[in-house]
Structure 1
Amino acid sequence: MGHQEEPPRIGKTPSGQGQGEGPAEKTSKPSTEEVGWDGPTDPARPVNWSRKKKWWNMGIISYLTFLTPLTSSIVAPAQGLVMKDFHSTNRTLASFVVSIYLVGFAVGPLFLAPLSEIYGRLRVYQVGTFIFTIWNIAGALAPNVGALLVFRLFAGISGSGPVTLGAGSVADMFARQERGVAMSLYGLGPLLGPVIGPIAGGYLSQAQGWRWVFWLLAIVSGAAVILVFFVLSESYEPVLLRQKAKRIRQANPSVEVNAGPALKLDSRKVFIQAITRPTKLLFLTPNVALFSLYTGVVFGYLYLLFTTVTEVYETTYNFSQGATGLVYIGIGVGALIGITGFGALSDKIQNLLIERNNGQAEPEFRLPPLIPGSFLIPIGLFWYGWSAQMHVHWIMPIIGLGWVGCGMIATLLPIQSYLVDAFGEYAASAIAANTVVRSIVGAFLPLAGPSMYATLGLGWGNSLLGFVALGLLPVPVVFYFYGKRIRMNSRYQVSV
């Protein structure tokens, strides 16, 4: 259930004279109540929740942002079994079994972000997680590959909520100077989930068949349903204030509630504005556009590796299907190193820059770790590609994947933190735009993997990817030094 606030205080403001007995009572106007927080330290406001409550909520959201991306890759080692079961040898179709889930991740945010502004983040988490569980059950029962693709698509749509709304939930609960660790925890799921997925999926599908992969997903997402319905709290302030206004009206019908312009809800107008806002931000603001492209390339590389590493290790190093899942540990270890180093570093660097800037925070203060971190992905791709091409010891390509995993954390966390700080109230829309782009690239780039490696080989194929990543290095440098000037430029002031 959602968070239950204490009964609202009623502060009446007389709007007319002559209240009392007799005829004057008929001409008096009802008193009015201005709905807002009871001071800056109101405990009902999410940013003022107890530390325990914040981290309970953060833990559940992080579980969701781990689970839904895990679903994208857990079937990767079982692609062969799925195709064999459905009597198909189409390698592109096999890759699409994995990546079509990300098409859903691209579509979902366009609807879930605006719905969260109407009904609150909690309702989207609840309904989305429940429907996500249903589609996983359907996947376990899929009668053919076409049905499986449809079920995976809709699972992606319903499962995109936590990744889309999670950054906004962090902004709801944590002050700007406290967000680094929370954003790191939120950002770890979309990277660590897809890494753990193939490890579990490889052995489970080898032992019990690919359908049990979906039964496992149904079980763990069913547990998430319980958590979001009975533990998670609403954190979106406009919705909480609308709920407070409603309780005041119910408790005191004679009180005219003045909820303020921001809280007067026209659902149709809010939905249209919110569904167009990510598109406006994506196409009209350079920071959202370029950083979305950046994360799109990073996620495209991640899922290209997910769909090709299994075959590389089965053919080059003669690994079993179950053992190939362990190869992804390299990315996971790299991600953990990244989260440990860059997560803590982000807040320290920001606080130092704020101190040097006379106590004034700027979103660009989140970007310095991204500059050295951007070198890690190209290093990892060169290392992985050429060590696999030359058939050196199997541990060497895994070390290369570790560099890639660390680089992905070093890229994702500063960009997400920057977008949250730069867009504040509209952080969910900025993250939605970012999620759409990275999901589209993540869905379709892997389809080019088999033909690229067949033409260029592992060495030059991954080198090509590394050179593209190097070409993106100027982006964080430009926005660190000139980002504020770009944001303040009237040409890029978008009406949202």
Structure 2
Amino acid sequence: MTHSNQYNLFVVSRLFAGMSGSVPSILGASTITDLFFLHERGRAFLIFSLSFLLGTVAGPTFGGFIVDHVDWPIALWWTVGLQGSALVFVLLFLEETGFSRDGGSAHPTGPESFIANRIATFFLGTKIVPAISRSNLFHSAAAPFAIGLSPVTILAGTFQLFSFGWFVMINTLLTVFLEEPEKEGGYGFTPQQNAEFTFSLWFGIILAQIYGHRLSDWLPLRLCRKSGGTWKPEYRLHTLWLPSLVLLPIGLGVFGVALQYHTHYMVLALGAFLITFSAMLSVPVAVNHVIECFRQHALETSAIMGVYRLTFGLAVPFFVTPWEKAVGIGWVFGMAAFFSIGSFMLLVLLMWKGHEIRNLSFNGVASTEEGSKLTEPETVLIPNST
């Protein structure tokens, strides 16, 4: 795709990249709910989510260093080796994780020989992956829509749509802001300088990992203990007060001011850092909360939350130019700051009336672990799924 008449090939390549790249982020959520207990999932979702979200930052960083020294197609070709390595590791080491914690088995035990086990793990019509019946296929296709249209998902998903959408917007447009000539309002950066700037996003992800590692399970469990030891999924959401209600609007405001008044690029970096820190934290918390509202449908819930997470951010380039012409670049991000505060109010509603809102979900998919009891001194939640 190195010629002007190959745009259609470029679009098709992005289609396949999008369809294939979305799979791991969906399957991982189901694996986590299989492997980790309720009181451990906060950090598990945090590590998993930030691992694949780091790729959205690492790609532009590595690509910027590459294209400043060699032909730009190499920025795409180097990923082929990584994909090949991932394929080999998956085929060799990926195991089925579904099982029942009550002593039973969700799936029959797979074959003991390596080749037979790999066939059973990856192919339909085997002991681990049974053939799909027409009724199961219909249920699997309908479940994401039933989950996505449930009130609890609409509220948490809409919050996610805005909170993470602003990060997608700056990540998509950052190169434009940085590499435009200074006389046109940009910073005149080279591709390598652009790549160096993206380390401000890396620091945001690193801080999100540290913050989330400390609070993702500790704070919900502490709130549970202070409320009598009975678990509610909404305790998860309280970890977002500081990043989503306070720091995200501040970061968006700083970012907009830097572009409006063309301040030093470090001011822009500060805004990007705060936006990244806040947006990255919102993903594992929101996804974990909704999955705990549809405990038996982690796979479908993860898929529909991915739609909520990406839809707005990917659509921004289609309307950001007229938006900027109407209000100016500063107020584009100023309005985004107010929208982020408004979207957080949806989480406040869930914190306040979560039980009642969850009861409005479709009966065929709703299943929560509300009512699980906290034991001492191990601080372990004994499940009581409903």
| TM-score bracket for this pair, using the shorter chain length | 0.7 to 0.9
Aligned equivalents of 1:293, 1:394: Cα separation in 2:
31
Contact 1:386 1:459 in 2 (8 A): yes
Aligned equivalents of 2:72, 2:108: Cα separation in 1:
45
Whichever residue aligns with residue 295 of structure 1, its letter is: Q
| Pairwise CA distance, 1:438 | 2.2
The question of 1:328 aligning with 2:194 is answered no
Aligned partner of 1:299 in structure 2 is: 164
Aligned equivalents of 1:428, 1:220: Cα separation in 2:
25
The question of 1:272 aligning with 2:138 is answered yes
Aligned equivalents of 1:308, 1:483: Cα separation in 2:
36
| Pairwise CA distance, 1:220 | 0.6
Within 5 Å, which residues of 2 pair with 1:43-192? 85-87=2-4, 144-192=6-54
Aligned partner of 1:215 in structure 2 is: 77
Contact 2:62 2:195 in 1 (8 A): yes
Aligned partner of 2:282 in structure 1 is: 411
Within 5 Å, which residues of 2 pair with 1:4-43? none
Contact 1:343 1:413 in 2 (8 A): no
**Residues 364-415 of structure 1: CA deviation (Å, up to 9, x unaligned):** 1111012232122211111011122212111110001111011112322221
| Higher-Rg member (1/2) | 1
The question of 1:486 aligning with 2:357 is answered yes
Contact 2:163 2:244 in 1 (8 A): no
Aligned equivalents of 1:304, 1:217: Cα separation in 2:
24
Aligned partner of 1:464 in structure 2 is: 335
Q: How has the CA–CA distance of structure 1 residues 325 and 162 changed in structure 2, closer, same or farther, with 3 Å as cutoff?
A: same
Whichever residue aligns with residue 6 of structure 2, its letter is: N
**Residues 320-369 of structure 1: CA deviation (Å, up to 9, x unaligned):** 12211222222221121122112321211122123234332221111101
Secondary structure class of the residue paired with 1:207? coil
| Pairwise CA distance, 1:240 | 6.6
| Pairwise CA distance, 1:288 | 0.7
| Pairwise CA distance, 1:241 | 4.0
The question of 1:195 aligning with 2:61 is answered no
Structure 1 gaps of 5+ residues are 1-81, 88-142, 248-262
Aligned equivalents of 1:152, 1:205: Cα separation in 2:
19
Q: How has the CA–CA distance of structure 1 residues 453 and 189 changed in structure 2, closer, same or farther, with 3 Å as cutoff?
A: farther
The question of 1:205 aligning with 2:74 is answered no
Aligned equivalents of 2:316, 2:86: Cα separation in 1:
31
Secondary structure class of the residue paired with 2:230? coil
Secondary structure class of the residue paired with 1:234? coil
Whichever residue aligns with residue 427 of structure 1, its letter is: A
Contact 2:163 2:343 in 1 (8 A): no
Whichever residue aligns with residue 45 of structure 2, its letter is: M
**Residues 417-463 of structure 1: CA deviation (Å, up to 9, x unaligned):** 21222221212211111112223223212222334334433211111
Structure 2 gaps of 5+ residues are 113-128, 181-185, 366-386
Aligned partner of 1:79 in structure 2 is: none
Is the deviation greater in 472-481 or in 206-215? 206-215
Per the normalisation by structure 1, the TM-score is: 0.64
Question: Alignment identity in percent?
Answer: 25
Aligned partner of 2:318 in structure 1 is: 447
Aligned partner of 2:89 in structure 1 is: 227
Contact 1:296 1:439 in 2 (8 A): yes
Contact 1:165 1:428 in 2 (8 A): yes
Aligned partner of 2:372 in structure 1 is: none
Which of 298, 317, 325 is equivalent to 1:427?
Answer: 298
Aligned equivalents of 1:493, 1:279: Cα separation in 2:
10
The question of 1:475 aligning with 2:346 is answered yes
The question of 1:366 aligning with 2:366 is answered no
Contact 1:327 1:398 in 2 (8 A): yes
Aligned partner of 1:380 in structure 2 is: 251
Per the normalisation by structure 2, the TM-score is: 0.82
| Pairwise CA distance, 1:245 | 8.5
Which of 257, 262, 272 is equivalent to 1:391?
Answer: 262
Aligned partner of 2:382 in structure 1 is: none
The question of 1:343 aligning with 2:213 is answered yes
| Pairwise CA distance, 1:216 | 1.2
Q: How has the CA–CA distance of structure 1 residues 188 and 246 changed in structure 2, closer, same or farther, with 3 Å as cutoff?
A: closer
Count of aligned pairs between the two proteins: 341
Whichever residue aligns with residue 391 of structure 1, its letter is: H
Whichever residue aligns with residue 385 of structure 1, its letter is: G
